[in-house]
Amino acid sequence: MAKDKSPRRPRAETPKGFRDYFGADVTERKAMLDSIAEVYHRYGFDPLETSAVETVEALGKFLPDVDRPNEGVFGWQDEDGDWLALRYDLTAPLARVAAQFRNDLPSPYRRYAMGPVWRNEKPGPGRFRQFYQCDADTVGAASVAADAEICAMLSDALEVVGIPRGDYLVRVNNRKVLNGVMEVAGVLDPSDPSKFEAERGIVLRAIDKLDRLGEAGVRALLGAGRRDESGDVTKGAGLSDEQAEVVMGFMAAKRGTGAETVARLRDLVGGSVLGGEGVQELETIAELLDRQGYGPDRIEIDPSVVRGLGYYTGPVFEAELTFEILDEKGRKRQFGSVAGGGRYDDLVKRFTGQAVPATGVSIGVDRLLAALRAKGRAGQKSVGPVVVTVMDRDRMGDYMAMVGELRSAGIRAELYLGNPKNFGNQLKYADNRHSPVAVIQGTDEAGRGVVVLKDLVLGAKVAEEASLEEWKSRPAQVEVARADLVAAVKRMLDQ
């Protein structure tokens, strides 16, 4: 026979690194975001939804001499030759909005934003090119009261989605303190801040890896460098042992109480003006939080938090879940960070030339949802709709009337809309839908003015475990008058 000459069919696939979300994946994330939005709203934050597309110029990730900007973002050229791209976070668009609407927005401007962002990065297991972020920021507030507020709000948000007190900790640090320590260690010269910048970058990244590399690994990175298991060498910051000791002392500065930690940090930053300012800010934040009742059981000062991003200029914070889960290899480990943020005072300046103080937090939506599932607080199998089956194809009107009555009573219900010939397929469908009840009415039942209700939840249980007595005492199938359909289904659902 001749081969089919029709053109090749398109592949039914998402692009690499992208995925679809079905049913409960969508509703559980939505419920979580709704709860968080309620907290943000109570704190006076207003929603903002920027467009997914920005000019590459506004995103500010690229050098003007790069021909095609594809480093990290999905970009394309529009009809006028301008480069456009999908936003890679929610902070860059906020900076653009704060500049564009600076005469119309209240100042300070508190806003929250929730939505997908896109990254043109190598996808991997659990790493997708489109994912949700959930941010809250205050633009135009220089006071660290704004940072304290963000920390309190983050704590409230975690509790409202179902992370109980004791299962999380918001940890606060300050980049100025770290800079003060760098001054003491001799890797920051206040009269020429650009000197030793590369070294400080290595120190920052080394500290950020304390969890993963341990003390010895960080020490190696602060000094000559580090060779990992595969033999790869990471260049170190070239600090002397004495200098490294100062930095390590900073990370270990945490004491039993906030006041003790602050005192220890004050010692460490010595005569550094910037460092002293940072310590003072931490002290103020702790005081302000204490006055609102947020003690160290919820928010604590922890000098080991640095956050990777280069643009932070003052307080930085991180929310960590403190309970243990089993990782993919069955080993116990702490769940870790689910949110982070800090103060960034230079992002709006790119557009306007004027410094605008800003601070904010970003919650890792997918990680937080995974945490809730790990704790059994999400991911339950949801109950499906009542399914009205079709016994007689020419009585569709009768069945549709039944499903209409159920829906009008607020009961989630469906009419079976596939080919009704094979009744077994209809029950398989109901099973696939996690339906609690199937409604059945053949010609005989219709003649007698009754319907049969099949309790599928009980049916499944009986099939698995019930004794004959139980089976008899509560049959999984009952016949009720047609007029009692809604009431009888309600009773069955409430059981």
Q: Does 67 bind a second copy (CB under 8 A)?
A: no
Neighbours of 21 (CB within 10 A): 11
Coil, helix or strand at residue 319: strand
Q: Does 291 bind a second copy (CB under 8 A)?
A: yes
Q: Residues 32, 134, 141, 204: which binds a second copy (CB under 8 A)? A: 141
Q: Does 418 bind a second copy (CB under 8 A)?
A: yes
Give 73-78's long-range contacts (Cβ < 8 A, gap of 24+): 73/118, 73/119, 73/120, 74/118, 74/120, 74/129
Q: Does 356 bind a second copy (CB under 8 A)?
A: no
Residue 115 or 223: the one with the smaller Cβ distance to a second copy is 115
Q: Does 381 bind a second copy (CB under 8 A)?
A: no
Q: H-type helices in 270-348, by residue range?
A: 273-291
Q: Residues 51, 191, 467, 473: which binds a second copy (CB under 8 A)? A: 51
User: Is 311 a known ligand-binding residue?
Assistant: yes
What the block records as the tokens of 344 is 């960034």
- DSSP codes, 131-179: EEEEEEEEES--STHHHHHHHHHHHHHHHHHT--TTSEEEEEEEHHHHH
Q: Does 54 bind a second copy (CB under 8 A)?
A: yes
Residue 5 or 9: the one with the smaller Cβ distance to a second copy is 9
User: Is 112 a known ligand-binding residue?
Assistant: no
Coil, helix or strand at residue 1: coil
Farthest-apart Cα atoms in the chain, separation: 96
- How many whole angstroms separate alpha carbon 53 and alpha carbon 57? 12
Q: Residues 315, 364, 385, 459: which binds a second copy (CB under 8 A)? A: 385
What the block records as the tokens of 321 is 């879940």
Q: Does 296 bind a second copy (CB under 8 A)?
A: no
Minimum distance between the CB of residue 492 and a second copy, rounded to whole angstroms?
A: 17
Per-residue buried b or exposed e for 161-171, using 16+ beta carbons within 10 Å of the residue's own CB: bbbeeebbbbb
Give 380-383's long-range contacts (Cβ < 8 A, gap of 24+): 381/24, 381/434, 382/23, 382/24, 382/27, 382/434, 383/434, 383/436
Neighbours of 100 (CB within 10 A): 13
Residue 269 or 356: the one with the smaller Cβ distance to a second copy is 356
Say if residue 147 is exposed, middle or buried (CB neighbours under 10 Å; 0-12, 13-18, 19+).
Answer: buried
Q: Does 283 bind a second copy (CB under 8 A)?
A: no
Residue 127 or 412: the one with the smaller Cβ distance to a second copy is 412
Q: Residues 66, 71, 107, 470: which binds a second copy (CB under 8 A)? A: 107
Q: Does 110 bind a second copy (CB under 8 A)?
A: yes
Residue 108 or 217: the one with the smaller Cβ distance to a second copy is 108
Residues 392-411 interacting with a second copy (rule: CB under 8 A): 396-398, 400-401, 403-404, 407, 410-411
User: Is 96 a known ligand-binding residue?
Assistant: no
- DSSP codes, 368-426: HHHHHHHTTSS-PPPP--EEE--S-GGGHHHHHHHHHHHHHTT--EEE--S-TT-HHHH
Residue 14 or 443: the one with the smaller Cβ distance to a second copy is 14
Residue 141 or 248: the one with the smaller Cβ distance to a second copy is 141
User: Is 345 a known ligand-binding residue?
Assistant: no
Question: By the 8 A CB rule, do 102 and 319 touch?
Answer: no
Q: H-type helices in 197-301, by residue range?
A: 197-208, 210-222, 241-251, 258-269, 273-291
- Which segment (73-81, 248-256, 367-375, 466-474) binds a second copy by CB under 8 A? 73-81
User: Is 313 a known ligand-binding residue?
Assistant: no
- How many whole angstroms separate alpha carbon 442 and alpha carbon 75? 59
* CB contact set of 282 (below 8 Å; sequence gap of 6+): 172, 173, 174, 177, 262, 265, 301, 315
Residues 170-229 interacting with a second copy (rule: CB under 8 A): none
Residues 442-481 interacting with a second copy (rule: CB under 8 A): none
Residue 155 or 179: the one with the smaller Cβ distance to a second copy is 155
Q: Does 297 bind a second copy (CB under 8 A)?
A: no
Residue 44 or 201: the one with the smaller Cβ distance to a second copy is 44
Q: Does 57 bind a second copy (CB under 8 A)?
A: yes
Q: Does 13 bind a second copy (CB under 8 A)?
A: yes
Question: By the 8 A CB rule, do 115 and 49 touch?
Answer: yes
Q: Residues 127, 165, 227, 412: which binds a second copy (CB under 8 A)? A: 412
Residue 5 or 332: the one with the smaller Cβ distance to a second copy is 5
User: Is 228 a known ligand-binding residue?
Assistant: no
Site string for a second copy, 18-37 (x = CB under 8 A): xxxxxx-xxx--x-------
Bridge partner residues of 144 (DSSP): none
User: Is 137 a known ligand-binding residue?
Assistant: yes
Q: Which residues are annotated as a binding site for L-histidine?
A: 89-91, 119, 133, 137, 307, 311-312
Q: Which residues are annotated as a binding site?
A: 89-91, 119, 133, 137, 307, 311-312
